[in-house]
Amino acid sequence: MCAAVVKADGYGLGLAEVGTALHAAGCTKFFVATIDEGIALRKTIGTSPTVYILDGMMAGDTAGEFASHGLTPVLNSPGDIALWGAHCRGSGDGASRSPDGGTAILALDTGMHRLGLTAAETKDLAGASDRLDGITLDYVMSHLACADDAAHPMNHDQRRRFNELRHDLPSAPASLANSGGIFLGPEFHFDLARPGAALYGISRSTGAPKKMKQVIGLKGKILQVRVVDSESTVGYGATRSVPAGSRLATVAAGYADGYLRSLGNSGHGYAAGVKIPVVGRVSMDLISFDISAVPVDTLSPGDNIEMIGDHQTVDDLADEADTIGYEILTSLGQRYARRYIGGDAP
C-alpha cells in the first residue's frame, strides 16, 4: 500500500489542490509534517482518509487537538507515547477516551538521529509495553537516510536495525520506504510505502532508474526585450559581460519567487525551443536571459520563457542551482499565477 506525503504545502505545489487530486485518485492515507498542515488538509479532503502528523506532538500541541480534528500522530519519543497514551486511556487532556480508538504510528530511529525512539528507548518500551495501553499502532516506521544511493551500505544496515528493533515490540504493520526506498526493491517495501518527492516528478534525488513524468511547468513572462548597443555588463555586481548586439529578455521572476539566486550565470531557460542562458545575477524580482540565439522578432513583451517544462526538468534546474529538486519545488513563491490541469482540477 502507498500513502502520499504532502507536507510543505504539497511540496510547494498547493496542499489543497494536490491533496484533492490524490484523494480523487484513490489515496486514503496522507502524511504531513505539522498539526496545522493536518488541520488544513482535513478541511480539504474530508473525514474519511487517514492523516498522519510526522512531527508528532510539538510543544503546545495537545492530544485533544489531534483527536478533535481526526489526526493521527507519529509518536517520536517516550513523551509523545505518554501524552497520547494518557489521552487514549481517558486520563489525559482530552477528558475522554479517543473516539478513533487511539491510533498512532510508532517511529524508530535506525540511524538518522532525527526523530524516533532510540535503540535504548525502544528496548525500554519493549520491557514496559503497558505504556502502549489504549494505543492502536497502525504502523511502526523508520526513515532511510541514503535511499537515493542504492549502493550505500547504510540502506541495508537500517533495514536490519529496523527489523531487530521492532521484533520485541507489539506486532504491527511496518513502514520504511520513502520515495528512494521504493526503488531499492521489495525487501524495503514492507506494508506501507511513503512516496513524497516521486509524486512530483523528482527523479535524481529519489534514485529512480529513469526520469519520471514531470507534473509541473514554470514559465516567466517577458517584461522587456532590448538590444545591447555596446559591450556591457548585466545586473547587480556586473558579474557578466555581453557583447554588442546581444539581445536580452527581462523576465518577471526572481529569488523572491523561488528562482534561486545561485542560478545567476548558471541557469537556463527555453524559448522557441532554443536553450537560453541566464546572464548576470538573479535579483529579487527580475531575471535576464540572453535570447541572442532565438530568431529575431520571435519574442516580445508578454511572451513566456520556459523555466521548468518539457525541455528542462525540476532535476535539471536543481543541478544548475547546485541543489536538489525538493528545494526547487518547495521554494516556488505565491506570486506565480497557478493553473491546475488534468483530473478534476478547477
Domains and CATH numbers, the chain: 4-206 (3.20.20.10), 218-331 (2.40.37.10)
* Residue 187 C-alpha from the chain's centroid: 24
Annotated active-site residue in 7, 11, 259, 270: 7
DSSP per-residue string spanning 10-62: HHTT-HHHHHHHHHHTT--EEEESSHHHHHHHHHHH-SSSEEEETT-S-TT--
DSSP per-residue string spanning 289-337: EE-TTSPTTS--TT-EEEEESSSS-HHHHHHHHTS-HHHHHHH--TTS-
What percent of the chain has a predicted confidence (pLDDT) above 70? 95
Contacts of 232 (CB under 8 A, 6+ apart): 241, 242
Cα–Cα distance, 212 to 214 (Å, whole number):
6
Cα–Cα distance, 125 to 139 (Å, whole number):
16
Q: What average pLDDT does this structure show over 318-324? A: 95
Told to judge if 236 belongs to the known catalytic residues of this protein, a careful annotator would answer: yes
Cα–Cα distance, 203 to 343 (Å, whole number):
23
Q: What is the grid cell recorded at 227?
A: 538590444
pLDDT of residue 219: 97
Annotated active-site residue in 43, 211, 236, 275: 236
Cα–Cα distance, 315 to 147 (Å, whole number):
17
pLDDT of residue 91: 57
pLDDT of residue 152: 95
Question: What is residue 153's DSSP assignment?
Answer: H
Q: What is the grid cell recorded at 41?
A: 488538509
Q: What is the grid cell recorded at 123?
A: 528496548
Question: What is residue 26's DSSP assignment?
Answer: T
Q: Is the pLDDT of residue 172 over 90?
A: yes
Contact 119, 110 (CB under 8 A): no
Question: pLDDT-based confidence at 99, cuts 50/70/90?
Answer: very low
Closest Cα to residue 290, out of 237, 230, 241, 236?
Answer: 241
pLDDT of residue 77: 95
Told to judge if 275 belongs to the known catalytic residues of this protein, a careful annotator would answer: no
Q: Is the pLDDT of residue 69 over 70?
A: yes
Cα–Cα distance, 147 to 159 (Å, whole number):
11
Cα–Cα distance, 173 to 192 (Å, whole number):
8
Q: What average pLDDT does this structure show over 274-302? A: 97
Phi, psi for residue 174 in degrees, rounded to 5? -120, 150
What percent of the chain has a predicted confidence (pLDDT) above 90? 83
Question: pLDDT-based confidence at 58, cuts 50/70/90?
Answer: confident
The model's pTM: 0.90
Cα–Cα distance, 22 to 40 (Å, whole number):
15
Q: What average pLDDT does this structure show over 138-146? A: 96
Contacts of 74 (CB under 8 A, 6+ apart): 52, 53, 54, 55, 56, 104, 105, 106, 107, 115, 141
Could you tell me the end-to-end alpha-carbon distance of the chain, in angstroms, rounded to an integer? 28
pLDDT of residue 240: 95
- For cell 481517558, name the residue: 90
Percentages helix, strand, coil for the chain (3-state, rounded to 5) are 30, 20, 50
Helix 153-167 / helix 119-126 crossing angle, nearest 10 deg? 20
Identify the three-state secondary structure at position 106: strand
Question: pLDDT-based confidence at 100, cuts 50/70/90?
Answer: very low
Question: What is residue 20's DSSP assignment?
Answer: H
Q: Is the pLDDT of residue 95 over 90?
A: no
Average pLDDT, the chain: 92
pLDDT of residue 344: 59
pLDDT of residue 343: 61
- The residues that bridge with 224 in the sheet, in sequence order, are 250
Question: pLDDT-based confidence at 15, cuts 50/70/90?
Answer: very high
Q: What average pLDDT does this structure show over 228-234? A: 95
Q: Is the pLDDT of residue 16 over 50?
A: yes
Do the bridges between strand 274-277 and strand 240-242 make them parallel or antiparallel, or are there none, so unpaired?
unpaired
Contact 64, 93 (CB under 8 A): yes
Among 40-44, 70-74, 153-157, 209-213, which is the least confidently predicted range?
Answer: 209-213
Closest Cα to residue 200, out of 22, 31, 339, 51?
Answer: 22
